[in-house]
């Protein structure tokens, strides 16, 4: 089914979204309100910040699955916040908001590991679709991290070795495979614009 603007009506996967937490970072309160209004029926927990520095404070205190980030903000802009997320909060899936036609900034954001970008004004159908996909990625990352942690704990419990170089080649390969899986998730080609 299509709307008048040819945007598909998307059914939300409630299992993905129910327990998710989204951080909306935009210096325009109206934009934050619009995003919340669109997603409120699907998302239980929202956090808001008017700039990148306030967003960092929230990220350090709360478990956030997804951050929707405006590029142009006072105190700390979207690209700098994106770099901080990549360095310190890799469990957070970032989506960038850009002004209509600001393709250059969107490309810069994607090059800095943004999962996706949305143009303002926000189209609700596209927003819901992309958020659902991003939350799915966040959940998959979380499962992979949990599996890697469990494997690491088993590895430590067996008291096998303390240095990577001294491990048997099979164990090195398992660790490298898990790390490669994390890298591939981070570089997910699903970042391209859809809708």
Q: Give Cβ neighbours of residue 184 (< 8 Å, ≥ 6 apart).
A: none
Digit-coded pLDDT (tens) for 114-163:
988 888 888 888 888 888 888 888 888 778 887 888 887 776 666 544 56
Model pTM score? 0.67
CB neighbours (10 Å) of residue 27? 17
Q: What is the mean pLDDT of each run of 10 residues along the chain (195 residues)?
A: 37 58 94 92 89 96 94 90 93 86 78 86 87 84 81 66 70 82 72 42
Given a contact cutoff of 8 angstroms between Cβ atoms, the answer to whether 68 and 35 are in contact is yes
Phi, psi of 22 (to 5 degrees): -120, 135
71 class by beta-carbon count within 10 Å (0-12 exposed, 13-18 middle, 19+ buried): buried
User: Where are the alpha helices (H) located in 63-123, listed in sequence order?
Assistant: 78-88, 103-111
CA distances from 98 to 58, 104, 158 (A): 22, 10, 50
pLDDT of residue 83: 94
Q: Which residue has the tokens 């956030």?
A: 64
Residues in the chain: 195
């Amino acid at each position: 089914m299509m709307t008048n603007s040819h945007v598909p009506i998307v059914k939300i996967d409630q299992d993905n979204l129910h327990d998710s937490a989204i951080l909306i970072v935009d210096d325009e309160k109206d934009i934050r309100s619009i995003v919340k209004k669109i997603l409120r029926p699907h998302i239980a927990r929202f956090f808001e910040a008017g700039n990148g520095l306030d967003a960092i404070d929230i990220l350090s205190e709360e478990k956030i699955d997804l951050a929707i980030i405006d590029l142009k903000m006072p105190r700390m802009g979207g690209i700098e916040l994106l770099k901080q997320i990549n360095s310190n909060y890799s469990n957070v899936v970032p989506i960038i908001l850009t002004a209509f036609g600001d393709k250059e900034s969107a490309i810069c954001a994607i090059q800095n590991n943004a999962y996706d970008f949305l143009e303002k004004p926000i189209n609700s159908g596209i927003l819901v679709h992309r958020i659902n996909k991003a939350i799915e990625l966040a959940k998959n990352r979380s499962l992979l991290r949990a599996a890697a942690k469990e494997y690491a704990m088993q590895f430590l419990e067996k008291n096998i070795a303390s240095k990577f170089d001294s491990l048997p080649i099979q164990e090195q390969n398992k660790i490298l495979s898990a790390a490669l899986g994390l890298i591939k998730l981070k570089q997910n080609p699903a970042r391209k614009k859809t809708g």
